[in-house]
A = this chain, B = another copy of it.
Amino acid sequence: MRTDSVMLSMFLLLTGLDACFVGVPLDTGTSYRSGARLGPRHIRQESSLIRPANSILGVCPFEDLQVADIGDVNLNIYNLPEAVRHIKAAFSKIIANGCIPLTMGGDHTITYPILQAMKIAHGTPFRRAAEEGCLDCNRAIQIGLRGTIYTTADYQWARDQGFRVVTARECWYKSLEPLMAEVKSMMGDRPVYLSFDIDGLDPSFAPGTGTPEIGGLTIYQGIEIIHGCRGLNVVGADLVEVSPPYDVAGITSLTAANLLHEMLCVLPGVKKS
């Protein structure tokens, strides 16, 4: 039968693309309920309902940008260090071609090698990226943290680095438009990377994830975060931690497919029609 996307090598024909969707089917970093390795294929499947224009933003991204789904990064899930090197290499090629990657995870482990490839300041939660100095910590922000934690000092490390930490509790009952206005001025015109962990949403909106946590963001807030990036110099984005085995009736994959389309709609170069 047709070669399946899980086995696709990275396509070579990157020349001329402004942006691309790319899958990274890796979940070796997941401790409890795995399955995010199947995220890219299920997100693609649920993307078939998506139409070209965005009714809230009033944009048609496919008219303004050359966009393609370039398949999945070729990797070996049994060898995490090697897989991480492959991811970094693949994204270096994408970026060298001037193409903005919109990545379908996979678990949150994949954001680290992507950031290494980008070598830019960003708002990722990973400690190692900060330690390597490839993070402009004063422009990093984390939104939606919550849940039981290991010690009450867990969020302090991020704050000590200079990260802005906004807990989910601070977001309840509120539009996030004011917060995103703040983000805008914090970021200026320097490069921004958006890493969206689907478990930032409340399980009522996104049950299909490995570590669901009650009290999360609403879908309205999730969309506002992405829309709030319009006008920023977004150089890449990812959507991670969709776990299809726990995604009854496909609603979480559908949500992910829509959020990836929203990300596309806020990229530089997409114009109001």
Contacts and interface: CB of A to CB of B under 8 A. Distances in A.
A202 B1 CA distance: 23
B251 A56 contact: no
Contacts of A6: 48
A56 B144 CA distance: 12
Interface in A226-241: none
B77 A149 contact: no
A171 to B, nearest CB: 10
B249 A207 contact: yes
A29 to B, nearest CB: 7
A82 interface: no
A96 interface: no
A104 to B, nearest CB: 10
Contacts of A37: 34
Contact of A4 (B47, B52, B220, B249): B47
A273 interface: yes
Given A220-B172, A245-B35, A29 B78 contact: yes
Interface residues of A, number: 81
A2 B69 contact: yes
Contacts of A15: none
Interface string A195-239: 000000011110110011111000110010000000000000000
25 contacts: A1-B69, A2-B44, A2-B47, A28-B28, A32-B48, A33-B35, A49-B148, A50-B148, A52-B151, A53-B148, A53-B151, A55-B145, A55-B152, A60-B152, A147-B258, A172-B175, A173-B174, A203-B251, A207-B251, A212-B251, A212-B254, A213-B258, A214-B223, A215-B219, A245-B245
Interface of A: 1-2, 4, 6-7, 21, 27-29, 31-35, 37-38, 41, 44-45, 47-56, 58-60, 68-69, 77-78, 80, 145-152, 154-155, 167, 169, 172-175, 202-205, 207-208, 211-215, 219-220, 223, 245-249, 251, 254-255, 257-261, 273
